[in-house]
Homo-oligomer: A and B are copies of this chain.
Amino acid sequence: MKQNSKLSLALHALGHMARAPGTPMTSDLIAQHNATNPVVVRRVLGLLREQGVVRSDKGHAGGWQLARPADQITVADVYTAIAEPFVSPVELGPTTCAIQRAMFETVQAAQTEAEQVILRHFRERSLQDLADAMDGAISPLHPTKTPL
């Protein structure tokens, strides 16, 4: 796995869950599909469970599945559950320097708006949209490939 890997892992796994509602996926299976470790999968999906996005069950026929229909879960739900914003805020220690404060304000304003843009994008995408990609259905947000 590489960077931003948690979100990739989560979205990929949930996308597949969206295609087989009611059929739990095991951490082991997900790990294999993503060239990683079951424990890592549990760590990531555990964050989603805390936010009520997925549920997990132990024992035979156990595993992970969506907590509600795929069209009622947005990419933003997953993104915020991961709790790792793309733009991590700059920090400003105690300073008396007006230049530093001015710089900080500028950077922070840009970062805040950037993060909002990301959330806006992600709110417009459901897991169902991702799952539909497998049927060759192209999302309305990329009309370039529309059949006609």
Contacts and interface: CB of A to CB of B under 8 A. Distances in A.
Interface string A48-60: 0000000000000
3 closest residue pairs by CB, A with B: A102-B133, A110-B121, A15-B99
A122 B98 CA distance: 18
Contacts of A103: 8, 11-12, 15, 75, 130
A111 B118 contact: yes
Interface residues of A, number: 47
Interface of A: 2-4, 7-8, 11-12, 15-16, 19, 75, 86-88, 90-92, 97-103, 105-107, 109-111, 113-115, 117-118, 121-122, 125, 129-131, 133-134, 136, 139, 141-142
Contacts of A107: 4, 7-8, 11
22 contacts: A3-B90, A4-B88, A4-B91, A8-B90, A8-B107, A11-B103, A15-B99, A15-B102, A75-B106, A86-B86, A87-B114, A99-B130, A102-B129, A102-B133, A105-B142, A106-B122, A110-B117, A110-B118, A110-B121, A113-B121, A114-B115, A114-B118
A141 B109 contact: yes
A43 to B, nearest CB: 19
A41 to B, nearest CB: 16
A107 B129 CA distance: 13
A132 to B, nearest CB: 8
